[in-house]
Every structure is written in structure tokens, then in C-alpha cells.
Structure 1
Amino acid sequence: MARAAGIAAVALAVTAGAVGTAGAVGTAGAVGGAGGVGGAPDGSGAATRPRVNRLEGVWQADGYGTIIEIHGSALQTYDVTRISCVPGFLTGVQVGGAGHGGTVRYGRPGKGYADLSITPRGRDRAVSKEDGATATKNLTRLPGGLPAQCGQPAPQDALAAFDRFWATFEENYPFFAAKGVDWAAKGARARAGITPRTDTDTLQAIITDLLRPLGDAHTALGRKGPDGGWDAVFIGLRPGTEEPTDQLREQAGKAVAAQLLAPERTFGQGGLGVGELPGGIGYLRVSAFEGYVEDGPYQEHADELDRALDLLLAHPERLNGLVIDLRLNGGGSDELGLRIASRLTDRSFLAYRKVARNDPADPTAFTRPQPVTVRPAAGATRYTGPVALLTAGSTVSAGETFTQAMAERRPAAVRVGENTQGVFSDIMFKPVSDELLAVLPNEKFLTRDGTTFDGPGIPPDVRTPVFTKEELAGLKDSALTEARRLLAAGAGHR
């Protein structure tokens, strides 16, 4: 139940073992206090009894292959397929008392804040929402309690681990048909070479060989490291694209700086940059939609983003255009992307609709679409003029959902550069064995007409080179130069 943060952030999440919220993602749990205890109405304290927790019990998520067990102040998830049930990575402790409508907040053990809320909808229905996510997940109470299989130790031999891995993808991955992959046939061939005695190195290689042809940057394989965390041993990538290096980021920064009137002001631990281009054009670099503070709740990340936007939009009436640079954006929180969009509009608009696979036996079955809307930010300066977005194959995940949303803005943003990476879904972290961890998507982000850009990515309106070796050697930036030209010529005014 975790949110993807793109190529680099998937690696970070797996390496750090942070199975949880990076905006749209729940982490490995949460911290907090316990539920409240009520005294006698007359204040005598003569008779006290615990408040009834309306969420007490076991819940099945619609899609996501997840069961949630709530007992007292503790929350535990289980990852389920038709053949297995194992404890999930998401665990939590209630933070504070129940809020409006019976909403209970949960946070990671050892932290001082919550990052997940669950709200009852009657006796047998509820919804959950991770902080920084743009949509909710529907939950249904399991009247029989936790399935018996979930209380049994899961076999850890290589054959059982492979079967869990294969079933997890078979029941949740949405894009086999679009990518032309016969998962059943490939799985059968791979399984024929596995025995219960197959070692972890061999199993890792077999699983990696199955994942690589998907070309999906929201698929990954983690392996338990010596410190108890998870090391990324494989991360997918769309063919023809590369993961940005630190050297590329440094060189790209110099090429951009050559066109700025003054050095950019940085925010969010370097993840955000604000500058000014000639001709009264503002510049905003967004290298990630996460990591703006060292450790803290979603709101602290949002506050840091607001500080950058307040500087950028201090005098919106003086701006003749705005360039938002997403070319090296590793993703993160979709909600932070919508937060930027809310400062760039004076009217509400549909950003996209989200659906998730929810039938293990039917790859065409999805949850009911949830509309996600951008609403004008109240009480803050807003800019409604022309916007140019710079995109590339290293524009990933939340960088792409923001790009998709800005296509619905009026006037729509003009896109310059290259196709984005082509991965939009939140990601899920699923245990394969005590030693291996699988990462995968299960959602689609739909446009107004019901299509998606998963796979090829969102194409630019104007295609230009992006940080090629030749351009970087000469401190050239064709995409930024073209965006400035388009804005000066009036592009994006309608």
C-alpha cells in the first residue's frame, strides 16, 4: 500500500525498507498513542469503560491484495493472494482519539505523527487514506475475522516463494496485455527450473528475468541487507531511458543556470529551486515530490513547498510566463503535485480518475473510478497565465501525474522535451520470502476519455533534445530555450 516515488525513490524506498508513504504511499507503520477512555458523565469517575472502536475487527481492501486487522490501538496488514497470506509491511499504532465521523489516525511505530486515516462508513464499510495520497481505498469488514491461512507460518522454500511472487503479479499487475507479456507461460517455464532447494541467488535471477521484459519503472525486487533493511537488486526501466546520475544532475544544473538571471533559490533540501528567466518568466525546478524535510508528516513537506511557491508567485501580475522543470523528477506525492496546480488556476478542474485492479481472476476488472480534482488554493497568491512544462524520460510517477493534471488546466500547459517515463500508479511492497521483496503497481490514472499513458509516457507538444552529452558540454539547454521562446510568442494563453 505504498506510493511510488519513481526510479530513484523506488530504489531509496526498497533500500531503506521504507514500505510506506511518500505522498501516496503508506510506510512501514506509524506511531502514536492509544484510544481514549471515557469517564462517568457526572465527572465522578465512578464508572469508566473504554470507548467502542467502530473499526475493531478485520477488513478487506477493494483491490490491493490487502487485509487490515485492527485490534485495540494496533493495526496490522496482511498481503493475500489466492494461494497465500503473509504479514504485510504496513503496521501502525493509533495516534490520538477518534476524530470527526469516527476517523482514526495511525502512524509508524517510533514516530510522533500519523500518516494514515481510516473512517467507518456504517458498520461494515470503511475507507482508508494515506497522507499525501489523492484518493481513498474502500474497505469491507470480514465477518469471519482473519482467515485461518493468515495465522499459519508461510513456507519459505524457493518454490513457495516463487509461487507467491508469481501470484502477486498475476492478480494485481494491470499491464500484461498492453506490454504483450504472457505471464502464465513465462511463469510456467521459470517455475520448471525451481525446486524447494533452489538458493536465493538463483531465485533472485529467475525473478529478475521475469520482471525485466516488463520495462516498468514501478517494478522492483529487494533483498534483505546485512543491516536488516532492503537493498534494491533490480529496478525496471522503460527501454531507451536511463536513470539520472549525480553527475548528470550537476551538469544539468549548470546548463539551466546559464539561462537564469541569478542563481536559483533552493527549498526542500534541494528538491525545489526557484529562479527568474529573461523576459519576466518565472522558473520552478521540481526534482521530487517528496523529501522536503528530513523526517516529518505530510503537512511539513507541504509547508516547505508553499514557501517555494510563495517566493515564485510573490507578484503573479509581473509574470509573463512560468517554466516548471520536471525533467529530473523522481516522483513522490501526487497530492504535492496537485498543491502546485492549485496555485495555478482560478477554477476547479478534473485532474484524472484513478482505478485499481480488484479481481484476481479478471485482469479487466477495476474499482469504480475515483475522480481527483484540482481546486484553487484559498488564501494564497495564484497565477493563471501561460505555463510550460519541461519533461523527459526521467520525469517519473508523481512528476507524470502532475503533468497529466496540467493538461486539463485552462490554459493548458505546453509540454516541451521528451516523453515521460510512463508509470503512474501507486506502488505496493509485497513480501516474497524472508529474503526477497517485490514492488509493483496495480492502478491506472485515466484521462477524461478513459485512456492512460502507462508504458510510452506522456508525449511533449514540442520535442527537443534533453540533456544530451553534446548539449551539456556546451552548456546548452534546447528544451528550456524553446520553452522561453514559446512563452514569449504567446503559447499557452488559451
Structure 2
Amino acid sequence: MLKIITKIMTTLSGSLLLLGCTNEIQKVPMPNELIGVWQQQGYGKVVQINSDGFTLYDITKMSCIKDITGDKNKWDEFVVSTYFEGDVLHLVHSDSKKYQFDKIAKLPPICDKEVPNTPSNNFEVLWNTFDENYAFFDTRNIDWKMQYNQYKPMIYDSMSIEEWFKVVSNMIEPLQDVHVVLSNDSNTLTYQNRVLSPFLEDILQYCQTKIDVNSCAGSELNNLLNITYNYIENPKRTLNDNLTYGIVKNNPSIAYFNLIAMSGYDKGNSEKYNDQIALIDKFMDNWLKSNSHIDTLIFDVRFNGGGYDENSIEWANWLVNESKIIMAKEAKWGNGFTKSTQIHTQPKANAFQGKIIVLTSKMSASATEIFLLALKPYDKATLIGEQTQGVFSDALLKKLPNGFNFSLSNEVYRDSSNIIYEAQGVPVDVEMQNYTKEEIIKQQDLVLERAIAIAKH
């Protein structure tokens, strides 16, 4: 359960940063048509490709930071296919991750020199990266230039790394975006925006008095889950303990799923989305064959902080009966946005045909919200609980000269009706607070009870 704490309000989705170094002995040359320097449309990245492999750079108007390198084998772990439209190179990872690159003659001139590792330069790189890529300053009512004017005078070259970290954390805090994270390599200095459900705020406030906060919080969350599982007949676990499922007591036609993550389903810790999807497919195919009598599925994502969009959409593929455009996304690019990418469902031939009731909370975030958007066009899911977190973008990962890693939201998602739910979250059909203090004392889960009542009518 401890991993729930570390997964709260995180996302593992990324762009080319999924690529990394490799120690493969056999070298496979890169395709000739890819050799050269390519600047990504949006995302603030340039990739240099030669016959031996690639090097990825993070760029702003004042910085160029070498990020990672890899060979053809590592490239193929991310890039499923490539194609050209005129001079534009398209890299395809999945239906929801498609990127465009323009060929340029050489690396930008800013890459000719290394950015010195000073507090001032690190501040400037971070501020400019947000300025050029963050998509939601207006949505979140932030004057980013005012933030610069307020916090830049606090930066001086003799300050400690802890002092620098505090100033920068204070600058990004008003964004209230849980995809905005700043940390050093050892994670001894970590900042993440946090907007939590009332029940989780209560838990964390209580656990602040304990020596091991994470252990305390994990134990308290387990207590809440045990209240819920008391409603389920012989609950079972699968997908590396990320899914707990069973039949509602005294209601043999109502099934219950509690999915706590949209990733991590492989005990071997494979993060390849095709491996994860294969595990989803195997489970759902077997479960449906054994449970053809089920007419309502209660899908609980109140503890699900996200994961991979591909997994979210695959879960939806097992719950819908026709292919539809479910959403579209675009990334900030200069003063505008990249070309919109439409995302579709691809329903399974033996998909579940019954009613769906989804339980949500403020913890339901990122890829979990993608799951909800995927169900939205079908009008077959009833949402009960709290409005979700409101963070849909993949987390754009970046590095600073001082070795700190940070992330931000640069993509805008629109649902099938062209509505943007960033910063407000997906609305629910029946609004209820989860796990009130009175419920916990009485060992009740009134949100689940409401779902069961709806399922029976």
C-alpha cells in the first residue's frame, strides 16, 4: 500500500525521455533517412541522430542541456513506427503519443556552449522552460512574469542548494498542478504540488506527528480499503496487486473492481506498454468468460493517481461496444499549439455490455482521468464521488544544469465535445465526499453503498 503514497498524483507518461542509455554489444545502425538533426514541434527538444544512435537535448532560448543518449535498440523501445509528411518526421509510440519533428541544418547555436551550473542559471533555465512550454498559466490564473520579478531577486550565487530549492519551490507552488515536480537525483529535496481529497488530507495531517509518515499513511489508507472490501465477497488481487476484484455481497450480478494504478501490472517491472496491455487483455478475457451473468460493474478509481494513457484506454476498450473519437490533444508550441492528435477507442469483440458505475475522488488523476474521458462519449458510465484532480497532460520531463529533474504540463486534452477539464477535473453525476470521519467511525463506505443502490435499480 505504500506505493499508493508514492504514486499519488504522479504520472509516468512521457515523451522521448523514455529513451535511455544501453549496453548492448551488437550495434544496429540507425536508418539513413533519420540521420540528421531534428527539432520537435513543441516539447522543447532536439534530437541528433547518426548511424550509431541518438542524443536528446532539452533546449530553451537561453539553454541547451544534453539529456540522454542511446542506440537503435533503445530507440526501438519507444518508437513503434516513423513516417514522413513532406519534410516533417512523425514518430509514433501509440495512438495517444505521436510526435512531429522538423529537420534543421545543425544543432542550435545555443548548444555550442555549456550552461554554467550556478543558482542564477538554474533559475533561468527552469523559468524559461516553463515560459516556453507550460500550457496553463491563464487556466490557473498565474502571471508567470510576475513570478519571475518576485523570485529572481532572491537568487544569488553564494546561496546553498537548499536555499535555492526553497525559492524555486515557492515560485511554482501557486500553479497547484500535481504534474509540476522538482527533485534532485537522490530525492532528498523534492517538491510536488498537491491538491488532495479531504480524507487524504486528514490522513497526512495525522501522520505528520509520526516518525515514519509514509508507513503511517499507507496503514491508514489500508484501513480505508478494508472498510470498502468488507462489502465484497472474497476479494482477490491480480496485476501485481494493482487490481482487487470480486462480487458484491448478496448481489451476485454486481461486480467490483478497485484499480489503484494505470501502470505497474507486470511483476517483472516491465514498463513497455504492450506488455502491460497484454496483461489487461488476459485478465479481462478470462474474467468475462467466467462472469457472463454480471450486469453491472462498479469500477473504483478513488485511489488511482495515474500511469499510462495506453493502459487507461485499453481498460475502456473492454467496456465499450463501438469505436469512437474519445479525445484530442495538442502541445504548446511557441505562441500556439501543435497539430491536434485524435485518440480513438478500439473495442474488444467480447467487451462487457452491462452498466458501469465509476467511483472517483480528488486522487483520481492524470491517466485515470483519461480513462474517464474515454468512457464519456458512450453515456453508459455513472460517476459517483468527488470531481477528479484535473491534470491530463503527460508530464514533460526536463533537467537542470545542477542535476535536478523537473516536470510540467504542456499538453491540452479536449474531450469528445471539445471541453477542457484541466484544473477543474471531470465532473461527477452524483457528488459525494469519500470516507467522511463519521463513515470511518461506523466502518461504512457510503459512496460504494450509493453505487450498489443505483446498480440494483
Q: TM-score, normalised by structure 2?
A: 0.88
Residue of structure 1 aligned with 2:427, choices 459, 463, 466 = 459
Partner residue in 2 for 1:373: 344
1:393 equivalent in alignment to 2:362: yes
Q: Please state how far the C-alpha of 1:449 moved relative to its aligned partner.
A: 3.0
Partner residue in 2 for 1:71: 50
1:236 counterpart letter in structure 2: N
Partner residue in 2 for 1:418: 386
Q: Please state how far the C-alpha of 1:281 moved relative to its aligned partner.
A: 0.9
Q: Please state how far the C-alpha of 1:12 moved relative to its aligned partner.
A: 7.7
SS in 1 for 2:82: strand
Partner residue in 1 for 2:83: 120
CA contact (8 A) 1:345 1:384 kept: yes
CA contact (8 A) 2:396 2:407 kept: yes
Partner residue in 2 for 1:211: 172
Q: For residues 161 and 272 of structure 1, do their structure 2 counterparts lie closer, same or farther at Cα, with a shift above 3 Å needed?
A: same
CA contact (8 A) 1:275 1:312 kept: no
Partner residue in 2 for 1:93: 71
1:34 equivalent in alignment to 2:8: no
Q: Please state how far the C-alpha of 1:195 moved relative to its aligned partner.
A: 2.1
Partner residue in 2 for 1:110: none
CA contact (8 A) 1:280 1:318 kept: yes
1:295 equivalent in alignment to 2:269: yes
Partner residue in 2 for 1:445: 413
Distance 1:24 1:338 in 2: 18
Q: For residues 308 and 366 of structure 1, do their structure 2 counterparts lie closer, same or farther at Cα, with a shift above 3 Å needed?
A: same
SS in 1 for 2:75: strand
Q: For residues 323 and 26 of structure 1, do their structure 2 counterparts lie closer, same or farther at Cα, with a shift above 3 Å needed?
A: farther
Residue of structure 2 aligned with 1:220, choices 181, 199, 205 = 181
Residue of structure 1 aligned with 2:92, choices 124, 129, 139 = 129
Distance 2:5 2:340 in 1: 26
CA contact (8 A) 2:273 2:308 kept: no
Distance 2:193 2:245 in 1: 31
1:35 counterpart letter in structure 2: V
Partner residue in 2 for 1:256: 228
Distance 2:280 2:303 in 1: 17
Distance 2:99 2:59 in 1: 16
Q: For residues 479 and 401 of structure 1, do their structure 2 counterparts lie closer, same or farther at Cα, with a shift above 3 Å needed?
A: same
Q: Please state how far the C-alpha of 1:374 moved relative to its aligned partner.
A: 0.4
Residue of structure 1 aligned with 2:147, choices 154, 168, 186 = 186
Partner residue in 2 for 1:405: 374
Q: For residues 52 and 26 of structure 1, do their structure 2 counterparts lie closer, same or farther at Cα, with a shift above 3 Å needed?
A: closer
1:323 equivalent in alignment to 2:298: yes
Distance 1:87 1:126 in 2: 21
CA contact (8 A) 1:23 1:333 kept: no
1:125 counterpart letter in structure 2: V
Distance 1:12 1:403 in 2: 17
1:198 counterpart letter in structure 2: M
1:357 equivalent in alignment to 2:332: yes
Q: Please state how far the C-alpha of 1:315 moved relative to its aligned partner.
A: 4.5
Q: Please state how far the C-alpha of 1:152 moved relative to its aligned partner.
A: 1.8
Distance 1:248 1:60 in 2: 47
1:484 equivalent in alignment to 2:457: no
1:468 counterpart letter in structure 2: T
Partner residue in 1 for 2:6: 8
Distance 1:10 1:483 in 2: 24
Q: For residues 60 and 25 of structure 1, do their structure 2 counterparts lie closer, same or farther at Cα, with a shift above 3 Å needed?
A: closer
CA contact (8 A) 1:258 1:475 kept: no
CA contact (8 A) 1:129 1:137 kept: yes
Q: TM-score, normalised by structure 1?
A: 0.82
CA contact (8 A) 1:352 1:373 kept: yes
CA contact (8 A) 2:304 2:364 kept: yes
SS in 1 for 2:443: coil
Distance 1:308 1:398 in 2: 20
1:255 counterpart letter in structure 2: I
Q: For residues 125 and 405 of structure 1, do their structure 2 counterparts lie closer, same or farther at Cα, with a shift above 3 Å needed?
A: same
Distance 2:14 2:87 in 1: 28
Q: Please state how far the C-alpha of 1:30 moved relative to its aligned partner.
A: 5.5
Distance 2:263 2:64 in 1: 31
Q: How many residues align?
A: 434
Unaligned runs of 5+ in 1: 14-20, 37-50, 96-104, 108-113, 490-494
CA contact (8 A) 1:30 1:106 kept: no
Q: For residues 60 and 231 of structure 1, do their structure 2 counterparts lie closer, same or farther at Cα, with a shift above 3 Å needed?
A: farther
2:138 counterpart letter in structure 1: A
Render the CA deviation track for 1:104-142: whole Å, top value 9, x for unaligned. x616xxxxxx233451316732122346x7130111111
Q: Please state how far the C-alpha of 1:80 moved relative to its aligned partner.
A: 0.8
Partner residue in 2 for 1:102: none
SS in 1 for 2:314: helix
Render the CA deviation track for 1:424-468: whole Å, top value 9, x for unaligned. 100111112224222111011102332211112112110122123
2:339 counterpart letter in structure 1: R
1:140 equivalent in alignment to 2:102: yes
Partner residue in 2 for 1:432: 400
SS in 1 for 2:97: coil
Q: For residues 237 and 63 of structure 1, do their structure 2 counterparts lie closer, same or farther at Cα, with a shift above 3 Å needed?
A: same
SS in 1 for 2:139: helix
SS in 2 for 1:434: coil
CA-based RMSD: 2.5
Unaligned runs of 5+ in 2: 204-216
